[in-house]
């Protein structure tokens, strides 16, 4: 099993293996590495990954419902139209990460996505064009081998910064690509690794 930790439910995962990490385990099992093509969902994931900067993913994931409530379920037009007063009020909202720059970047990124839609038709088309529409499937033996960034994330990060996006450094963007399935980094031994479904224990 390449040294992976077996979860209390008997499954080996890349992360979310410990007791009490149910949200992480569910995210790993149902979202991480799964291709996303819906612009609203892509905006949500970009926002959450940017909010993670300096924090753990588990902390941000546990605030997901708070983010959806604060930012109109990630409706691009509604977030793009939020006023400074509305954004300032969110600095007192315990349901999100109350960093002023991160809060304001959400509105800025909504506007940047709307601009990308004008040039590319959708945020989805823009992002997936960097991988020719096909997920990049890696074959790492352990989670420790998974890089924090790559030449691809460097390239996408640079282009997004040029387009006015914020909190899109290469490390954030690589995590974003993993989260939306542009990159599949499920490692050897993980039950979600391609072809690994047979490792799931039988029901009951």
The β-bridge partners of 137 are 184
Task: Give the pair of three-digit tokens for residue 77.
Answer: 């037009």
Model confidence pLDDT, tens digit, residues 78-130: 999 999 999 999 999 999 999 999 999 999 999 999 999 999 999 999 999 99
Other C-beta atoms closer than 10 Å to the C-beta of 151 total 9
Q: What is the pLDDT of residue 8?
A: 81
Mean pLDDT of 137-150: 94
Q: Which 3 state secondary structure label does DSSP give 142?
A: coil
Q: Would you call 27 a catalytic residue per the annotation? A: yes
Listed range (8-17, 120-129, 160-169) with the worst mean pLDDT: 8-17
Q: What is the pLDDT of residue 145?
A: 95
Model confidence pLDDT, tens digit, residues 16-65: 988 899 999 999 999 999 999 999 999 999 999 999 999 999 999 999 99
Mean pLDDT of 148-171: 98
Candidates 32, 57, 126, 174; catalytic one:
57
Sign of the dihedral through C-alpha 52, 56, 59, 61: positive
The confidence band for 1, taking pLDDT boundaries of 50, 70 and 90, is very low
Of the candidates 13, 26, 44, 74, which has an alpha carbon nearest to the alpha carbon of residue 180?
A: 44
Task: Give the pair of three-digit tokens for residue 104.
Answer: 């304001």
Mean pLDDT of 134-161: 96
Candidates 27, 128, 174, 191; catalytic one:
27
Tokens 């905006």 map to which residue?
A: 43
Is the separation of the CB atoms in 194 and 138 below 8 Å?
no
Q: What is the pLDDT of residue 202?
A: 35
Superfamily of domain 23-199: Hypothetical protein; domain 2 (1.10.340.30)
The confidence band for 193, taking pLDDT boundaries of 50, 70 and 90, is confident
* CA angle, 63 then 12 then 26, to 5°: 25
Mean pLDDT of 132-160: 96
* Cα 40–chain centre separation: 12
Q: pTM, whole model, 2 decimals?
A: 0.92
Q: Would you call 57 a catalytic residue per the annotation? A: yes
The full set of domain ranges for the chain reads: 23-199
Candidates 49, 67, 128, 174; catalytic one:
49
Q: What is the pLDDT of residue 4?
A: 56
């Amino acid at each position: 099993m390449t040294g992976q930790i077996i979860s209390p439910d008997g499954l080996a995962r890349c992360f979310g293996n410990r007791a009490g990490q149910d949200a992480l385990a569910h995210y790993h099992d149902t979202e991480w590495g799964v291709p996303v093509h819906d612009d609203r969902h892509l905006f949500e994931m970009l926002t959450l990954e940017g909010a993670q900067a300096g924090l753990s993913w588990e902390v941000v994931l546990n605030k997901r419902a708070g983010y959806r409530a604060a930012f109109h379920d990630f409706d691009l037009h509604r977030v793009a139209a939020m006023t400074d007063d509305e954004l300032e009020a969110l600095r007192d909202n315990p349901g999100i990460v109350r960093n002023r720059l991160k809060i304001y970047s959400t509105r800025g990124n909504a506007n940047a996505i709307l601009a990308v839609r004008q040039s590319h038709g959708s945020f989805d088309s823009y992002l997936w064009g960097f991988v020719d529409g096909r997920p990049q499937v890696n074959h790492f033996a352990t989670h420790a081998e998974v890089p924090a960034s790559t030449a691809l994330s460097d390239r996408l990060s640079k282009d997004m910064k040029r387009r006015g996006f914020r909190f899109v450094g290469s490390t954030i963007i690589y995590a974003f690509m993993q989260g939306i399935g542009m990159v599949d980094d499920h490692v050897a031994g993980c039950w979600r690794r391609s072809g690994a479904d047979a490792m799931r224990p039988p029901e009951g």
